[in-house]
Chains A and B, each alone.
Chain A
Amino acid sequence: MKRETIAPGVALTAIPADSFKSCRISLNFIVKGDRRTATAQALLPMVMERGWLECPDMQVLSRQLARLYGANLTVCGGTLGPNRTVTVSISGIRDEYAVGGENLLAEYLRLVFGVAFRPDVKDGAFSRDAVRVEKEKLKQLQKSEINDKRIYCLRQARRKFYGTDVAGLEKYGYPEDVGSITPEGLYATWLDMVTTAQLEVMALGVDGGTVRDRLLQELAGIRRQPVALNMPHAMPVGQTRFYEEPVDATQGKLCMLFTQRQTMTPEKLPAMRLAIALLGGTPTSRLFMNVREKKSLCYYCSASFSVIASCLSIDSGINTADAEKTRLAILSEMENLTNQPVSARELDGAVRYLTNALESVSDSLSGLEGWYLSEISRGTLKSPEQVLKELKAVTPQQVTQAMESFSLSVVYLLKGNGTDDCEEEML
């Protein structure tokens, strides 16, 4: 892996990955999160993905990609703690596997840089038709979260957890802001992104020099003025807040969000990784084995930790009648992990599980890319091997201490009606 700064706020990470059949290039724009621009930033990738100046037609672009052996070109929006991301990426098979002998890499570069830096813009505005269509799609996306009750419960809990804090900005923006976005305004959002964003370019299985040259060519035409990003922070500790919402569903959902007293520092991360694995990160975790298997209180019960938000999330699919029992069982597992010593055998099992996961990072392009992007965002840039060494040095006491730092902030219950008697009519 080689990372180099190409220009202020622009870095290229080249990862040799020649043993794979495919290669991948991604341009990750990271912009400062802001409530006022969140919705336009959510809409932007949807409009960009439709096409670019040389190929504004969605169907023609889809056929070009299919012809390139199903190359996958995407533009995705997301959140990264208190900041937002727009990722333009392409992945596809390597030249040597092209049955027709085509120069695929040249096409991949043309497309991914074209979509990122030469969008379908005329007279300072994106295509009006494209913006109109995608605004409707964005409204549908905002409404459709209710279709997946697990995601809906997590998002509702998150809304209560963050309140108006910038770290809680909505991935898909806000319904009330969609109508006022204009094609000109969206172009301004794009311009702001390419001029002020931190840009992390990842090249996997592609010659870094080729990508570097292409990137410099693109940047030469832009007056870049990178802006400092928002700093990650933990949400304050306070009294636990309980929420219930009835839904028309057979299964209930329970989501519990915990905050830490302060932002996670990198040296505490190895113990935290192990603590989460022990609690609810594996099929033999305490939540899985005790809450699901022994007590049969739920179908799933898992824990995850967001380093950037210092937030522990536990979510579960339950019989609504068992909600209180499940909540208490989860808290009891948390307490046991905090108050009782972790056996060497159990800790060894968790280390082995994470060893397996870390050693497997290099077995896929997505694993490698995800790993190094996470490391870059935390400013640590460690290899999986380095992290593995750190994990092996963690003591049972450090695991216990890691769990001590959490305070339950939000409990969100989606109350299912417990039956699947949705009205049905056969014609």
Chain B
Amino acid sequence: MVLEKDMADNQSKTRAALARLCTEMTPQRFVLDSGLTVLVSEMPQFKGVHAVFGTRFGSADKSFSLDGQTVELPEGVAHFLEHKLFEDENGNDAFELFSATGASANAFTSFDKTCFLFSATDEIEKNLRILLDFVLHPYFSEKTVQKEQGIIAQEIRMYQDSPEFRMTFGLLGNLYHVCPVRSDIAGTVESIQKITPEMLYRCCEAFYAPDNMVLSVAGNVTARQVLEVCNGVKIAPSGHRLQRQKLQEPDTVFAKEKILKMQVSQPVWGIGYKGPGALGGEVKNELICDFITELLAGETSPLYNRLYDENLINAGFGGEYLSGPGYCSLIFGGETPDPKALQAAFEAEVQRLLKNGVDEEQFLCTKNQMLGQAIMGLESIEDVATDQAAVFLRGHSLYDEVEQLSALTARDVEAMLPTLLDREKCATILIMPTDNDGE
């Protein structure tokens, strides 16, 4: 009887905790006449407000048709546009406008989205107006585009010096033939020279249309405040027809191996697995990918602990997944004194996992860990605003993830292992120290 009561108590606590999460993870949602979606999480216990204005336009969008006309973009346009939108026709910088209110502003571009953001504790309405205004009123000239090419070239060079960055994009370059995720989000020093003001205006018409965007706000603000600002800013509905064009990516990998030389203290080794592109962007598949990275290379995994103690890896070793429309891959890697031994051990562990299946204890631990991470994400206005914008742009919600995580079983993960860890669709990269560095 006692046991039954305890079980009932626990089930009731579980239901209560999940119900609370559902409430806290569900923002108020509005769709304006212009087609813009507005998400607001009122969090009055905080002093600040974080706002994210995002669009479904990232480095993976290289080819599209607008009103029936095909547009092909060089690499790096979405990121270039992110930089350029901060400047208006009078040469004013949006950073300066935010600065006058004390707000802290920034922006970022990923494979599938571009987001502009600010954090502030004061003059929230004014900051929201600045945000909407500069993003929706672009101005480009030959001169300003040329100036930005110099700054972005510096940024590209900076990342070229990062071994982690070279490992990730080296692997993606090996895995994919034509999918744009194989290239640096910022493009190359050469590709950004091809960008013109006309090209940027065309991209704004196509992707900075309200029905392709979301405004996500979290913190000490009310939905009413946010809507009043939105209604006071003229946001015209899009008058254009956008069609994204997907490049036909073959199932095979582009190259099995690549070796680079850089000034690093010891070799860096990485391995990537290319999954079917159709799996990309789906919540359940992303959760499964997340599980696989932890099961294979996380701190709870037998492989990580064994290799760490054998000094084949250090604490920086790990895995991650990349997933979006048309791409889904897993990558693992880190520094090692003996890349051959690491590769042999890693591939043997993959075969063991495929043969023996998922360890139930590790699965349950990992599930709790992922649930905890989702809960922790709710205590920061930055995380809430950013995450709810990101999941909206991908077509789902924050609570979808918790709900699907709760329902996920070790068998679900096992069923996907052969597809996501296919030996025929894997590639490696090795970064070796330049001759004067290694021992």
Q: Output the nearest chain B residue to A294 by Cβ-Cβ distance.
A: B147
- Across the interface, which residues of A come within 8 angstroms of B9, CB to CB? 101
- Across the interface, which residues of B come within 8 angstroms of A140, CB to CB? 265-266, 314, 335
Interface size class of B (residues with CB under 8 A): 35 or more
Is there contact, CB below 8 Å, between A356 and B10?
no
The reply to whether the CB of A378 lies closer than 8 angstroms to some CB of chain B is no
Is there contact, CB below 8 Å, between B259 and A425?
yes
Is there contact, CB below 8 Å, between A424 and B372?
no
Known A317-B158, A356-B121: A283·B259 in contact at CB below 8 Å: no
Partner of A99, one of B18, B96, B298: B18
- Across the interface, which residues of A come within 8 angstroms of B335, CB to CB? 140, 144
- Across the interface, which residues of A come within 8 angstroms of B419, CB to CB? none
Is there contact, CB below 8 Å, between B372 and A92?
yes
Is there contact, CB below 8 Å, between B265 and A68?
no
Is there contact, CB below 8 Å, between A424 and B47?
no
- Least CB distance from B48 to A in Å reads 5
Is there contact, CB below 8 Å, between B376 and A19?
no
The reply to whether the CB of A355 lies closer than 8 angstroms to some CB of chain B is yes
- Across the interface, which residues of A come within 8 angstroms of B379, CB to CB? 20-22, 364-365
Bound-state Cα–Cα, A100 to B371, Å: 11
- Across the interface, which residues of A come within 8 angstroms of B371, CB to CB? 69-70, 99
Is there contact, CB below 8 Å, between B375 and A69?
yes
Known A147-B163, A352-B101, A363-B48: A22·B376 in contact at CB below 8 Å: yes
The reply to whether the CB of A210 lies closer than 8 angstroms to some CB of chain B is no
Is there contact, CB below 8 Å, between A67 and B365?
yes
- Counting chain B CB atoms within 10 Å of each CB, the highest count among A59, A143, A317, A423 belongs to A59
- Counting chain A CB atoms within 10 Å of each CB, the highest count among B161, B263, B309, B370 belongs to B161
Is there contact, CB below 8 Å, between A427 and B157?
no
- Across the interface, which residues of A come within 8 angstroms of B364, CB to CB? 67
Bound-state Cα–Cα, A403 to B135, Å: 36
- Across the interface, which residues of B come within 8 angstroms of A141, CB to CB? 314
What 1/0 mask marks residues of chain B from 98 to 124 whose CB sits below 8 Å from any chain A CB?
A: 111111111000000000000111100
Count of A-B contacts with CB under 8 A?
Answer: 226
Is there contact, CB below 8 Å, between B263 and A247?
yes
The reply to whether the CB of A251 lies closer than 8 angstroms to some CB of chain B is yes
Known A97-B17, A98-B17: A149·B161 in contact at CB below 8 Å: yes
Bound-state Cα–Cα, A310 to B216, Å: 41
The reply to whether the CB of A376 lies closer than 8 angstroms to some CB of chain B is no
The reply to whether the CB of B362 lies closer than 8 angstroms to some CB of chain A is yes
For chain A, residues 308 to 322, give those with C-beta under 8 angstroms from any C-beta of chain B.
317-319
- Across the interface, which residues of B come within 8 angstroms of A129, CB to CB? 309
The reply to whether the CB of A298 lies closer than 8 angstroms to some CB of chain B is yes
Is there contact, CB below 8 Å, between B10 and A101?
yes
Is there contact, CB below 8 Å, between A349 and B17?
no
Is there contact, CB below 8 Å, between A250 and B99?
no
- Across the interface, which residues of B come within 8 angstroms of A298, CB to CB? 154
Bound-state Cα–Cα, A427 to B258, Å: 6
Known A146-B265, A293-B93: A251·B154 in contact at CB below 8 Å: yes
Bound-state Cα–Cα, A118 to B308, Å: 23
- Across the interface, which residues of B come within 8 angstroms of A213, CB to CB? none
Bound-state Cα–Cα, A138 to B93, Å: 45
Partner of A353, one of B47, B99, B163, B370: B99
- Across the interface, which residues of B come within 8 angstroms of A284, CB to CB? 93, 95-96, 98-99
The reply to whether the CB of B360 lies closer than 8 angstroms to some CB of chain A is no
Is there contact, CB below 8 Å, between A363 and B46?
yes
For chain A, residues 347 to 379, give those with C-beta under 8 angstroms from any C-beta of chain B.
348-349, 351-357, 359-360, 362-365
Bound-state Cα–Cα, A98 to B9, Å: 13
- Across the interface, which residues of B come within 8 angstroms of A349, CB to CB? 99-100, 102
Is there contact, CB below 8 Å, between B157 and A424?
no
Is there contact, CB below 8 Å, between B102 and A100?
no
The reply to whether the CB of B378 lies closer than 8 angstroms to some CB of chain A is yes
- Across the interface, which residues of B come within 8 angstroms of A356, CB to CB? 48, 102-104, 119-122
- Across the interface, which residues of B come within 8 angstroms of A250, CB to CB? 157-158, 160-161
Is there contact, CB below 8 Å, between B262 and A352?
no
What 1/0 mask marks residues of chain B from 356 to 376 whose CB sits below 8 Å from any chain A CB?
A: 000001101110111111011
The reply to whether the CB of B437 lies closer than 8 angstroms to some CB of chain A is yes
The reply to whether the CB of A37 lies closer than 8 angstroms to some CB of chain B is no
The reply to whether the CB of A296 lies closer than 8 angstroms to some CB of chain B is yes
The reply to whether the CB of B257 lies closer than 8 angstroms to some CB of chain A is yes
For chain A, residues 113 to 171, give those with C-beta under 8 angstroms from any C-beta of chain B.
129, 133, 136-137, 140-141, 143-149
The reply to whether the CB of A263 lies closer than 8 angstroms to some CB of chain B is no
Bound-state Cα–Cα, A292 to B147, Å: 11
For chain B, residues 319 to 368, give those with C-beta under 8 angstroms from any C-beta of chain A.
335, 361-362, 364-366, 368
- Least CB distance from A44 to B in Å reads 16
Partner of A59, one of B261, B300, B370: B300
- Across the interface, which residues of B come within 8 angstroms of A248, CB to CB? 262-263, 434, 437
- Counting chain B CB atoms within 10 Å of each CB, the highest count among A247, A283, A424 belongs to A283
The reply to whether the CB of A422 lies closer than 8 angstroms to some CB of chain B is yes
- Across the interface, which residues of B come within 8 angstroms of A70, CB to CB? 368-373, 376
Bound-state Cα–Cα, A406 to B134, Å: 38
Is there contact, CB below 8 Å, between A427 and B102?
no
Bound-state Cα–Cα, A140 to B372, Å: 32
Partner of A58, one of B17, B308, B375: B308
Bound-state Cα–Cα, A129 to B305, Å: 13
- Counting chain B CB atoms within 10 Å of each CB, the highest count among A247, A248, A345, A348 belongs to A248
Bound-state Cα–Cα, A208 to B211, Å: 50
Bound-state Cα–Cα, A143 to B298, Å: 24
Bound-state Cα–Cα, A203 to B21, Å: 25
Bound-state Cα–Cα, A426 to B261, Å: 12
Is there contact, CB below 8 Å, between B93 and A69?
no
- Least CB distance from A256 to B in Å reads 18
Is there contact, CB below 8 Å, between A93 and B48?
no
Is there contact, CB below 8 Å, between B372 and A357?
no
Known A20-B379, A67-B365, A359-B121: A249·B99 in contact at CB below 8 Å: no
8 tightest A-B CB contacts, nearest first: A352-B102, A69-B372, A299-B154, A70-B372, A70-B369, A101-B13, A248-B263, A19-B45
Q: List 12 A-B contacts (CB under 8 A).
A: A65-B369, A67-B368, A68-B372, A70-B368, A70-B372, A93-B372, A137-B314, A299-B154, A356-B119, A423-B260, A424-B258, A425-B259
